[in-house]
Structure formats: structure tokens, C-alpha cells
Structure 1
């Protein structure tokens, strides 16, 4: 259905977390607001996020978690090689705790706060997951009477005398188009991770990249902004999710809950490349973007498990906490059944052999026997003198049968493409605002990163989605 009216104070393009946060803020300030969403469902990737970043929140105060925000800022700037925009990042950090408190005031519940892997203790885990947080925010959107139109896409931004005057929209069900009048537009379309051509411009290593997004983040907002004079800003970073099962048949999201995927990517046993050579400290997955980068520069990557590891993970427990998930099982109790099922279905990403020599032959991993023998020496000595893996995670590979799981790299989101100021107003190539146009969430989050997503600050994309959506509306209402 087309929107009910032809004119609004504000039109928000995209119904994910950033767009809905903007909608609630607009409702709080009595703006006549419309949210358009090209898909049929709301929440976008916000349905799948684990939590949001915050500094000096109510929960951190309760838990006596103290963070020096200046040190955190310097750490993130260094991590980005100073490609992050320092004033924008500082405003986000300084307001992140207030954003968590604001979400909590809306009814969003957080189960805990802390680190994720080797990180700052900033991620506020959503009780019930991202989907529950989205549902809570949506309830507030409904309370304020904010109109939402689904299956409606933005085709073109309209301008009059250099100011945004509205936009051309399309009904995705019927193909019909219509113009809307609006003096302010917020772009909240989720970035470009589902646009293969844009991803390829960011990195040529795309043959093993697997999007685990909702499929709708195709760079719409970025391209709309570019066409009205927005600067072609740096594309920021792709959020690599470490390793992911490389399944060339089924879509990546079907493995999101896979215990085999968790064992192969996060339990730090042994990774080898196309020659069977070990190439990295496997507990690099404490920073999933670093892990993703290390996998991508190989031609192929395999995670090696033996039966002893499978039995331990299934029946006893984890070798290490699942670092990319703050809520994790104590053991992978379905792992053995998953392996059996995948073998029965002849899944190409999983190979089983009774001996290391046989596994090497099946996959052409010519150095695998030598690699495993060398690795097992580290286990015996309790010291990895090649790559420095923690002794706690040195686990022998010596009891058959043996398993190899081929890995690609999951992409959760891609950040950037639009340059904004501290009020989330879109800027042109001269550094001046495109009047009436704002960008939030992943469309603008390239301002926070360099060439690598900063997993040292967990929850930052979800936290930025909520902060930036609210920030843009506050800026509109203040007349900035």
C-alpha cells in the first residue's frame, strides 16, 4: 500500500534498527513522520544483532564497569590508522551510554554487559536477542502513531533550490510510482553488503565472501545520496564474521546456528590452507575481522578436527567461549549428530577420513601430515613457537577419524559510502551539508572505522544505529 498522505515533515528510508530509532525520536518530538521499507518485514539486520555498544551506561554503573572514554577513543583511532573521523567517533562514544539508557527507557532489556573476546567491555547484550529489541522499539513506534509503509522503495531524492523537497517512491508489489513531499529525509538503508558489485570495489577477494545479512542491504541509500551531490566517501569496512562454512549450495544464513560451524571457526583447533600449511594463530577469532582477513588471503581454508575434539565438544564442553557470541552453550551437544547428517547428505564442505594421510589425499593437502606432526609437537611442549597460540587452546590432532571443514568468510555488514557531519547530515565533496538530507546506521558508519571493522569495540554497529538515528532527529529539531 502507498503511504496515506503526500506530505510529511520527515521521511525515513529503511525500517531497520537505525530507521526505527529515528522514528521513535521523531515521535517523541511530534514530527509528522513516515517510514518506508522496501521489504515486507521490519528490523533488518537489527533482528540478528547480539547487543549494542555503550560507555557509562546505567548497567555499567550497576556492574562497576569503568571505561576511560578518552583512552577508548585513542585506541579506536589507532586501530583505524586515523581514518575514522575523530569528532564523530567521540560524539558517538560520549553519547553511547545515554543511548543505551534511552533504549532501556523504551523497554529494551539488557541481560549483561562486558567484553567479547579480547575487547573493551562495551557490549550490552539484548535479552531475547535483537529480534526482541526490535519488537520493543516497534511498540513505541506504534504508540507514537508513526506511519510505516512496507514494500515501498525510494527511487529518487527530489530537490528544490538545493534543499531536499521530497522523493519518488515505488510500490514494489505493483510497480507504480508516486512522489512524496518532505523537507527532511533520513537514509537508513543498511549499507551495501548485499550488493556484490559494491563489495567487489571494496575488496577483490570476493569468491569466498558470504553475506549473512538479511539480503536487503544493497547500497540503496548510498546511491540515492550520491545522485544528489553527496561525496563518494570511503567505503569503510566490511564486518568479516571470522570463518563460515563454505557451502556453495545453501545460503549462508542456514548455517548461522550450526554447531559444526562454531566448532570449525571458534574453537581454535587447527586451520590449514590449500597446501595443508598452518597459516595463523587460530584463536585470532577473538577478533573476527582479523580472522576473516587471514582466511581470505589463502586460496582455500580448512578447519581440521579429530574425533577426540568432536567427542570433547559434544560431551564435555567447549575449549573456549564462543567469542563472537556472548550467549553460548556450555557444550556443542548436537555436533556429532550434525556431522553424521552432513556426511549422510554428502555435503561438499565436509570431508571425513580414517587417517590424516587419507584426508590429505582426498583434498590435495600435500603438507597436512607434516603440519599436524609439527603442531602436535607444540601441544606436547605447551608452546606454539610459530604463531603464539595460547597454551590453553593447544589441542592435539591424533585420534581418527579426522574431519576437514572448508571455510569461507561471513559478512555481517558493510559500512560507509556517505560522509556525514556530527549531526549525521550528509555532506557534499566541499564538506557542506546537502540540505535536508541525513544518513544513519551502516550508510554512515564508515565515519567510525578505517579499512577494518573495530571488533575491539563490540556492539558498535547496533549502538551506532540507535545513536545516529536519534542524533539525526535531534539535529533536525534543533534546526542544525
Structure 2
């Protein structure tokens, strides 16, 4: 389906959370706008976010949450090793409360605000999740006259006298092409997490990673911009979701609500590598991105459970509150049935044995027996003298049957690739704008991070998507 018109004030490439925010803002500013969505559904990865970051919002004021903005800024800059841009991060923090209030005033509701694990209390949780926020913005933009064109992808940015003046688009169903003229283009294509070549260039052992994105975040925005002179900016950070069940035969989202996945990745019991050696304090999963980094230091990783740990998680309660998984009950009441089903269907990521020796043989792990003997000794004495795990998470796994769950690393999104100024204008190698070209959301978010996503500032990806989409349009002439 081609666009209804041939000329617009603004073409928004990408119908995710950032593009939808830009669409609403454009309608309020009186701009003629069209949103190009290469897929058949709206919202992109915005459908899956829990909430958005904010400092000084109406909801924080209601809950007497006060945050020192400069202390937060310094903490996040330190976390990024000062690879993040201080002006951009400061701008986001300073404007984030107002952005929360703005979207709330337009009908997007929040259920709570607070921390997520060991973090600043900044995440405002959407009522109904990200999908509810997406649909509210989509409906609002439509009601205000913004046009939406689905299955239509951007192929080439057209320039005249050094500035944007149009776009070539393609119908994804027919391959037919159309030229659109416009004054400005906003790239909001969601980053590059679904582009395997880009991920391989950025992530070691990328074959062990699993994208839990919508499948459409293939780096389109940055590639369009690079071809018209945009700077090849740092590729920023990949947002790891910590450990994930490693099963290449199923889409990763199949296991997003899995209690076995949560038990294996979140309960801080025992992780071993391909040799059967322990390699990290399993409590690293307090920071899901650090957990992902740790897993990728090894060729293969397995989470080891036994029947007594499974009985405890099922019948008594969790060893550790789950912080980064949709499966967050008081007990994993469905865990035993899930394991039984996975074993019955022959899932290759799950191996069981009556003894440690048998498990070691099945997995070809020569060091597993000694590792488990030593680990149980540490648990008996209540002190992890190897890696410093807290005493309360030292859980003995001495009697069978035993279970090994193979882990990969889930990836939610990838941030970076384009450099922008404080107006969200895309800049060239000399730091000057490419006239008429803007970027928002994950395409531009490399300015906010170092090499590891800042889970210490929860909600920042969605928060920046919403802020930057609005900021770009407000700054358009």
C-alpha cells in the first residue's frame, strides 16, 4: 500500500514507541505526517517494554520519591566509563519527568513507580504493558489525522542541495516503488538487534545469543542515514536479558514466561561451563546485562539444578526474588510439569541424570564432579571463597536426580549507530547536522550508553524512545 499523498512535512520511518510519540507530537504541531511501517503490525519492540524512565514525575511526587539529578547523572556516566554523552544524558534526565507527565496526560496510565532490582527508582510501569501504551498513542495519532502506511519500507533518502527532500519507498508485498517528497525525515527504526552481521561485529560468541525483539530491528535507519553522510557512530550497547534457555529450534519468546528459564537463570544456584567448571558468582543476574556478559565469556553454559532445589522452588518458595523475568510468582508451581513436558518431548537444552557421574558423562564435562563436590563444601561452610556469592544463595545440590539446562543470552535491543545533537538532528563526521534528517529511539540511543546497557536506570530505553521522538518533532522548523 502506497501513501495517500505525495508530499508531507514529515515522514516518520518506523511505527514503534518513538515513531508513535513523534506522530502524536507532529499532529499537535500541525504538521502533515505519515508513519511508514515495514511490517504489518504497529508498535515494534514498544509492545514488550514494561515501563518508561522518569525523574520528577507526578507519580514520583505522589509517592514522595526524590532523586538528586546530578548524582544520578554522575552515577550513569561512571557506569558508562564516560562513553555516554553527558549533555544528552543530562537532557534526558532533566526532561524525563515532564515526558512522563505529557504521555500520562494523553491517556497512557501507570500502575506504579520504583526501582527494578538494584537500581534507581525511575521505572514507571505501564498499565497493560507496553502494548497498551502503543495502542493508545496509535489511536490518538490516527484520530488527529496522522496517516499510517503498513508493509511499506524506506529504501533511499533523497537529497537536494545538501538537504533532505524526499524518500524512495517500497511495497513489501509487490516490490513496487514510490517517491515521496518531504521537508523532514525522522528515523525511528528500532536499532539493529535483528541484524545478525551487525550483532556478530559487536558481540563475542554471537551464535550463543537469542533476539527477543519483534524481528524487524535490522538496522534500516542507520544504513539509510550512513548513505547520505551521517557519522558511523559507536554501536553502543546490546541490552542483554541475562541468561535464556538456549534452544535454536524455537523462537526465543516461547520461553519468556518459562518457570524453568527463570529457575535456571534467576535463582543464583550453580552455573558451569562446557568443562563443568564454575566461572562466576551466579548472583550476577542482579544485573541482567552483566549476567549476559559473563555467560558469553564461556563457550557453553549450563545451569545445574537437582530435585531438592526444584522441590523447594515449587513447594516452599524462591531462593531469590525474580527481577528480570515475566515469571515472577512466590513459588514456581508449574515448574515440575514444565520439566516433565520438556523431557518427554526431548528438548535438547535439558539433560537429566540420576547421579553426578552420569550427568558428567552425558554432557562430556570432566570437571563437573569435582566442581559440585567443592561447591557443596562451600555451601556447607556458608562462604563462597571462590567468587563471593552471598551466603543465603549458597544452596547445596548433593542428591539426585540432577538437571542441566543449557543457557544462551537473550537480547532485547541494540542501541546506537547514529550520532545526534540535542535536537535529535543526525550529524555528520564533522558534528554538523544533515539538514532535514532526525533520528530517535534506539537508532540514536548510543549517545546514552557505554558498552553495557544501564539497567541501573530502568526504563531508560522506552523513556528515551518517547522523549526523543517528541524532542525531534518539537525542534523541527
TM-score of the superposition, structure 2-length normalised? Answer: 0.98
Look up the match of 2:420: 420
1:433 maps onto 2:433 in alignment:
yes
Q: Using the alignment, how far apart are the partners of 1:76 and 1:440 within structure 2? A: 20
Look up the match of 1:366: 366
| Aligned-residue RMSD, C-alpha | 1.1
Q: Using the alignment, how far apart are the partners of 1:8 and 1:185 within structure 2? A: 10
Matches within 5 A, 1:105-184: 105-184=105-184
Look up the match of 1:299: 299
Q: Using the alignment, how far apart are the partners of 2:119 and 2:172 within structure 1? A: 42
Q: Using the alignment, how far apart are the partners of 2:378 and 2:51 within structure 1? A: 37
1:281 is displaced (CA, Å) by 0.8
Look up the match of 1:46: 46
Look up the match of 2:397: 397
1:285 maps onto 2:288 in alignment:
no
Q: Using the alignment, how far apart are the partners of 1:327 and 1:143 within structure 2? A: 36
Look up the match of 2:83: 83
CA-to-partner distance for each residue in 1:403-450, whole Å, 9 max, x for gaps?
A: 000001111111100000011100000000000000000000000011
1:73 is displaced (CA, Å) by 0.7
CA-to-partner distance for each residue in 1:229-262, whole Å, 9 max, x for gaps?
A: 0000010011111101110211212111111111
Consecutive unaligned residues in structure 2, runs of 5 or more:
none
1:177 is displaced (CA, Å) by 0.3
Contact 1:34/1:149 (<8 A) preserved: yes
Look up the match of 1:99: 99
1:317 is displaced (CA, Å) by 2.0
Look up the match of 2:270: 270
Look up the match of 1:321: 321
Q: Using the alignment, how far apart are the partners of 2:137 and 2:435 within structure 1? A: 28
Look up the match of 1:250: 250
1:308 maps onto 2:296 in alignment:
no
Look up the match of 1:231: 231
Report the number of matched residues. Answer: 477
Contact 1:6/1:181 (<8 A) preserved: yes
1:326 is displaced (CA, Å) by 7.8
Contact 1:50/1:326 (<8 A) preserved: no
Q: Using the alignment, how far apart are the partners of 1:325 and 1:115 within structure 2? A: 15
1:393 is displaced (CA, Å) by 1.6
Three-state SS of the structure 2 residue aligned to 1:331 is coil
Three-state SS of the structure 2 residue aligned to 1:342 is helix
Q: Using the alignment, how far apart are the partners of 2:36 and 2:134 within structure 1? A: 16
Three-state SS of the structure 1 residue aligned to 2:206 is coil
Three-state SS of the structure 2 residue aligned to 1:165 is strand
Q: Using the alignment, how far apart are the partners of 1:277 and 1:118 within structure 2? A: 28
Q: Using the alignment, how far apart are the partners of 2:68 and 2:392 within structure 1? A: 30
CA-to-partner distance for each residue in 1:192-217, whole Å, 9 max, x for gaps?
A: 00001111111242110111110000
Three-state SS of the structure 2 residue aligned to 1:90 is helix
Q: Using the alignment, how far apart are the partners of 2:394 and 2:317 within structure 1? A: 15
Of 363-372 and 260-269, deviating more is 363-372
Contact 1:26/1:473 (<8 A) preserved: yes
Matches within 5 A, 1:210-229: 210-229=210-229
Q: Using the alignment, how far apart are the partners of 1:106 and 1:390 within structure 2? A: 45
Three-state SS of the structure 2 residue aligned to 1:118 is coil
CA 1:280 to 1:210, structure 2 compared with 1: closer, same or farther past 3 Å? same
Look up the match of 1:470: 470
Look up the match of 1:19: 19
Contact 1:116/1:286 (<8 A) preserved: no
CA 1:468 to 1:327, structure 2 compared with 1: closer, same or farther past 3 Å? farther
Q: Using the alignment, how far apart are the partners of 1:399 and 1:135 within structure 2? A: 50
Q: Using the alignment, how far apart are the partners of 2:301 and 2:354 within structure 1? A: 20
CA-to-partner distance for each residue in 1:333-383, whole Å, 9 max, x for gaps?
A: 111111000000110000001111111111012111211121122222222
Q: Using the alignment, how far apart are the partners of 1:311 and 1:273 within structure 2? A: 25
CA 1:256 to 1:407, structure 2 compared with 1: closer, same or farther past 3 Å? same
Consecutive unaligned residues in structure 1, runs of 5 or more:
none
Contact 2:304/2:403 (<8 A) preserved: yes
